[in-house]
Amino acid sequence: MNNLRKSAIAEQLQNLVAAAYQFACSLELGDERIEAFEFCEVLRRLQRHGTASEMLAATNPFLCSLDDDGDEDDDDE
């Protein structure tokens, strides 16, 4: 049952990527078209195994290094 759900979600994502690409292609050159293709690329990358975890790690503020705040000891000193 879970594999069927996963397959259905993967198929829906593939359809969404195709629709996003078609939409981006339909736009005139400019910032809106660039943003549409960037959005399409993010959706396309979600189809790769492990990408969702990488994206979550990169955008999760709780996983950011404490070095940015200066709270963690620097090894360079």
In this structure, which amino acid lies at residue 32? E
Question: How many domains does the chain contain in total?
Answer: 1
Q: Let me know if residue 75 belongs to a domain.
A: no
Question: Is residue 41 domain-resident?
Answer: yes
pTM of this prediction?
A: 0.66
CA-CA distances (angstroms) from residue 41 to 19, 33, 35, 52?
Answer: 12, 12, 10, 13
pLDDT in tens, 5-48: 989 999 999 999 999 999 999 999 999 999 999 999 999 998 88
In a domain, 77, yes or no: no
Task: Give the range of the structural domain holding residue 52, as residue numbers without chain letter.
Answer: 2-69
